[in-house]
Amino acid sequence: MKECDDNRKRRRPMLRIERSVWNDMIGYCRSALPDEACGVLLGESGDETSTIRHWRPIPNRASLRDRAFAFDPAAWIRVWYEADAAGRVPLGIFHSHPGAPAVPSPEDAAGNGSGLPTYWIVSFVPQGGCDVRAYTLAESSNEAARYAVSPFRIV
């Protein structure tokens, strides 16, 4: 008889992001204010550690860019081809919340179909501050509980 699978056996790799990527991502998001910025995080994935070493901005094509984001389709496809050619693994997407906390909104929960392991939000609330959180998709049919906070380390 096959043993039941439980969550204790599923270990996520330690998530790391290089400081230069961290600084560039936040700077890019800040430069887009008052609009939301978005992009892809790339690196290497292993059993024990996933390390984000590169990032690529993607133009936001949402009609209401001050409160939503939508990847430019051509840029999104180009990033995938470039990553594959360079041997880089897409590890997550990011976007900013210019006027909201770094918590997935209902629109975020409904619209994240990237299939990538992490989902990052850069918030500039309170005004002038900066809060960045990484999330992973949780196994839940409840939209409100769809994301789990993912700890990370800046290296």
Residue 5: which pLDDT band, with cuts at 50, 70 and 90?
very low
Split at pLDDT 50, 70, 90, the class of 147 is: confident
Domain 14-154: top CATH class: alpha beta
Read off the pLDDT band of 16 (50, 70, 90). very high
Identify the pLDDT of residue 148. 82
What would the pLDDT profile of 78-135 be if each residue is shown by its tens digit? 999 999 999 999 999 999 999 899 998 888 777 666 678 889 999 998 777 899 999 9
Domain residue limits, the chain: 14-154
DSSP secondary structure string for all residues of 37-64: -EEEEEEEE-SSEEEEEEEEEE-B--TT
Residues in the chain: 155
